[in-house]
Structure 1
Amino acid sequence: MRLLLTLALLPLAGCVTDRMTPEEELADVIGDRVAQAPVDCVSTAVLDQPRIIDNRTIVYRRTGTIYVNRLRSECPGLDPYTTLITEVRGGQLCRHDLVSTLDPGGTIPGPKCQLGEFVPYELPE
């Protein structure tokens, strides 16, 4: 019985090691794009859903531009499996705005964390 259980778990062990590190995932998202000068705000009207890379990095996409936001400090509970709650004022998402997280199935948001600058990455011309 023990042998069968061990053999059944072996395929799962390989799946765990195939996950990209946050640095690899960010590099994959950015691709061939080139960093531009940081901006303080981006319009929320044209942004796709945010993608959480790690507890300090959030990626936003707008058409061909990728915006990488590194929070001012690590945000407890911020990971790819949480829901991001963003407090937006005036139709723009700006440096110093606050975000918090909500665990799957949870009802109480986590601590508030402050956004940093938005670094746009664009395809070279």
Structure 2
Amino acid sequence: MFKRLALSAAAIGLLAAPAAHADEHEGADKEMTKGEKRLAKMLEGRVAGEPERCIRTIGSRSITQIDDTALVYERGDTIWVNYTKTPDAIDDMDYLVIRKFSSTQLCKTDQVETYSRGGDFFSGVIFLDDFVPYRKVDSEG
């Protein structure tokens, strides 16, 4: 538990441009992680839009956790990705407890804690960043 918290705290200082995050490994020497590959597959044929501080969550589905990579929320034709400031704290073996300040939106200022599914104990904190919308590329043109 302390290792995860230390890693989470260390990751706070690692900020990257969210829209560029998905493309940062293209042509890089480093191979993509399993989580990065999963996210890239989800975003195939889509283009990033302007990041937003909050997203509407009325009639919401659950958030998909991609280990060590991002939180993903799908609404309509848009996939919203929050790369978070602490991607290493994301583990799909944990469940999320989100304390929202609005009943209709999820915002980067909302509090996200993780708890172990196996032992139901506190396992970490996820610090949200802006939400990047990915929409399908219009094939007409």
TM-score normalized with structure 1 length: 0.74
Is 1:47 matched with 2:56?
Answer: no
Distance 1:57 1:112, change over 3 A: same
Superposition deviation, residue 72 in structure 1: 1.4
Q: Give the count of matched residue pairs.
A: 105
- Root-mean-square deviation (Å): 1.8
- Aligned equivalent of 2:36: 23
Residues of 1 paired with 2:124 and 2:78: CA distance? 29
Residue of structure 1 aligned with 2:96, choices 84, 87, 91 = 84
Q: Identity percentage over the alignment?
A: 31
Q: Which amino acid aligns with 1:111?
A: G
1:90-124 CA distances to partner (integer Å, 9 max, x unpaired)? Answer: 12111132211121132322222210010000012
1:51-75 CA distances to partner (integer Å, 9 max, x unpaired)? Answer: 1112341111101100000111245
Residues of 1 paired with 2:125 and 2:34: CA distance? 25
1:1-57 CA distances to partner (integer Å, 9 max, x unpaired)? Answer: xxxxxxxxxxxxxxxxxxx71111001111211100000001121432111112341
Is 1:64 matched with 2:91?
Answer: no
Residues of 2 paired with 1:30 and 1:47: CA distance? 19
CA contact (8 A) 2:35 2:66 kept: yes
Gaps of 5+ in 2: 1-32
Residue of structure 2 aligned with 1:103, choices 116, 126, 135 = 116
Q: Which runs of 4+ in 1 moved over 6 A?
A: none
Larger Cα-atom Rg: 1
CA contact (8 A) 1:60 1:67 kept: yes
Gaps of 5+ in 1: 1-19
Residues of 2 paired with 1:56 and 1:47: CA distance? 21
**SS of residue matched to 2:132:** strand
Residues of 2 paired with 1:97 and 1:72: CA distance? 13
TM-score normalized with structure 2 length: 0.66
- Aligned equivalent of 2:86: 73
